[in-house]
Chain A
Amino acid sequence: MKRYLLPGVLVVLALAYPLLVGDLPVYGRLGALVLLAAIGASAWNIVGGYAGQVSVGHAVFFGFGAYASVVVYTHLGWPPITGAPIGMVLSVALAAAIGVPTLRLSGHYFSMATIAVGELVRVLSSTSDFLGGAQGLGGPAMPRTVFDLSFISATPFYYIFLGVLTFLLGLTWMIERGRMGFYLRAIKDSERAARSLGVSAGRYKLYAYMLSGAFSALAGSLYLCMFGFVDPESGFGILISVKMVVMAALGGAGLLFGPLVGALILVPLEEFSNSLFGGQGAGFTFMIYGAIIVIIARFLPSGLLSLFNRRSTRHVD
């Protein structure tokens, strides 16, 4: 019974959070922002953490999701959320197109190739009139129906994001437990050894990449629904890719709850330091943010969860 106590308390806390902070819109929104960041980082975690393929170009998928949502609104007048499945399907196809040439690369070469592809897509998106060019595109200015998801309160977003994250983590958990998870870990430890055992490394890496891309796109669509605007920088910018990596790595990459823990630390840190120091215009926000990341990396290079989860230290290469 006792071992269910802590998880139980955490689940209740997660469900009740919006009610606890009901009168403080900033905190309600903060909860939603944490969950949204956790969705993106958890999606990245499938290929970056479990399979050990460190993509620094996941903004490509995030941007595809965001743009798919805003494009169905702009060109067809549909509610943005209807673009989510379109963005996910497109991202799976795109992941195949990017993954086939790049996933053969090892280590840092893969990371650099994904950066290049990300920048490529960003530049191209800014030249496309269909995507609103460099000006970007805005979602519905005023809500038309409830399906536009233009809520004043962040609470509906919170529960939508919580649902998506739960689904994604459940799926990841199943993969982790199943054959694919076994293969991915084998590939991460030693691709050559995995191949010699008959694992089709290329195929499983690609599956992981496609799945990861699909959920990154979903994160992008949800972002668009909440913020109502995307331009090349906020959709495809390299900072979006880097933040996904940093969040997962900070919490513990390749661990189910690693990205969520990373988001729980970094998102409030970013918001609070900006709220406290941003107005002075002296750059303290990012000095503090950077320094805390450095300190965590210095003392816990395998992520925060390595403190509690001794098993994770085994994965250190």
Chain B
Amino acid sequence: MDMKVAKKLGLKERYTLMTRDLAWDTTYQPMDKVFPQTAYEGIKIHDWDKWEDPFRLTMDAYWKYQAEKERKLYAILDGFNQNNGHLSVTDARYMNVLKLFLGSTPPLELMAARGFSMMGRHMQGAGPRVACQMQAVDEYRHFQTQIHSISNYNKYYNGMDEFAHQQSRMWYLSDGKSFFDDAITAGPFEFMVAIGFAFEYVLTNILFVPFISGAAYNGDMAAMTVGFSAQSDEARHMTLGLECIKFMLEQDPDNLPIVQRWIDKWTWRGTRKLASVGMMMDYMLPKRIMSFKEAWEMYVEENGGALFKDLARYGITIPKCFGQTIEEKEHVTHQSWIGFYMKPQATPFHTWIPTPDEMDWLSEKYPNTFDKYYRPVLEYLDAQEKAGNRFDNKTAPMNCQVCVSTIKFNEPGDPMEMCFRESTYQGEKFHFCSDHCQEIFDNEPEKYIQTFISSHQVLQGNCEPDGTDVNAADFKPGQNMLDYWKLDKRALGDFNGSEDQKNFAAWREQATKN
């Protein structure tokens, strides 16, 4: 027998043998039937073998590393929980960060898991298919460890208990849901640009660093450990997103305009989604890491700018929305927090007016905008609250047809003017928060007319608790929103005077005094 010295295989050859050498072109069924989603988006791939594996991890090594990480992670979670770790956080206001996170993030990680499973089925090349499968199973890890780390908090604080029910019903979670629904209903290549590149590469730092550093700064060892443990997974996901962009661009020059349009679209959609993360950084973390503006400058303007410079050799230009995001970085977090403060009966987390110290911090971090535009509003709301006249906006908001955000952001160049746009499609008017969302709509109106906007749906009787008779003579739409959301009254409204605030103070006293 002709023996070859197999042990001397290089890493790359060995990985090829362990992945794409396993694959073959089917003959009993035609390849275009086995991989029916490859062509319909217009992306042209000539040679899947040109795919450069962004990482080389066989399953045995994967299990070994991941098992080691899980063992450590769950040991720390158990210890933290057993020792009433929740009482060691800086301030009970921090719990509201967890409420925001639990509602918005694990459900989206779950969608990433399902979406990457689909990629792991439909990517025709064996190289990207395996990489996508590995990301799919990682995403299961992420939503599960996130839920597990917050599970113990849910036992003691209000507003976390119905996140699974609320993920598809809460008005303010609709932006994240529409983001992932949009990506998963697109074709495989657009999904990879949307999630693999725009979300996991361009925007991932500004999403995860604030939450995880926020946990670390505020004594939440559970969430911090989950985040740090996910870091090496995220590093793999980032390299996959970037490789995918490069691969598409190298395969055919006709791919460039399609990819560019997707980059423009998804960078903007991601930016809108991040407004609430910024609000969390600037207003909700008792111990702040840095301002959203600083984070945006570091992670998006500098790192993102360098990335797009690097991609210029393929003809890619910086996303169209970049200029607007730079202008908005000094505004969006204030507008978002004030927006949430004004809806005290409609979120499972509490709001509050920043303390005088915190206002001074905001003045320092936002010298161009805070004192001029937002401090006066917050001080006015504070005075009204103290006078027993707390602002409570009970009207349904107007939402953007694309990003589903409440329309509340300002006109570019004019912070005193709200930005509205509208397009007419098939005789019907649709509203947008920005030029970029309008452009996304105009490119694919047949998709975006489908958007589920709860402030519209409620009027049609589609947001009622199970068993409601919407045809009853005395039916009034939206009377039972709290039941529809399963929103615990104790979780609503102001932090000051809340059960969370009282319990935390009493329990901390019990844990630290005799």
Do A and B interact with each other, yes or no?
no
Q: A-side interface residues toward B, CB under 8 Å? A: none
